[in-house]
Amino acid sequence: MIGGIIRGGMKIIAYILEIFAWLRIALSPTILGCILGLLIYNESPTKLGLVFTLVVASIGAALGIVWATRVSIKKGALKFITRYPNEEDENHVEDKK
């Protein structure tokens, strides 16, 4: 009985970590879009500049959501976040063995 509770708790923790990894991937383009939008607004602080700012920030958020979802489906968001930059592709490593 206790083993089942522990396994269930570990699944919840793994799910929460996957959500945080997905958010981290999605926030990267979102923040970039917001910064770019603020730069646009800084150059033209009018209503039209504000509209462009919101459009650019929305595009960044949409791209972030799409990218995070694709990564999550393809590899898993947590695996993508924890992968080292110099780590070789898994398929390439298996071919060498």
78: CB partners within 8 A, 6+ apart? 14, 17, 18, 21
Residue pLDDT, tens place only, 55-86 = 999 999 999 999 999 999 998 888 888 876 66
Residue pLDDT, tens place only, 41-63 = 898 889 998 899 999 999 999 99
pTM for this model (two decimals): 0.70
pLDDT at 78: 84
What are the domain boundaries of the chain? 2-84
Q: Position of tokens 């979802």?
A: 69
- Give alpha helix (H) positions in the chain: 2-43, 47-74, 77-82, 90-96
Residue pLDDT, tens place only, 14-43 = 888 889 999 999 999 999 999 998 998 898
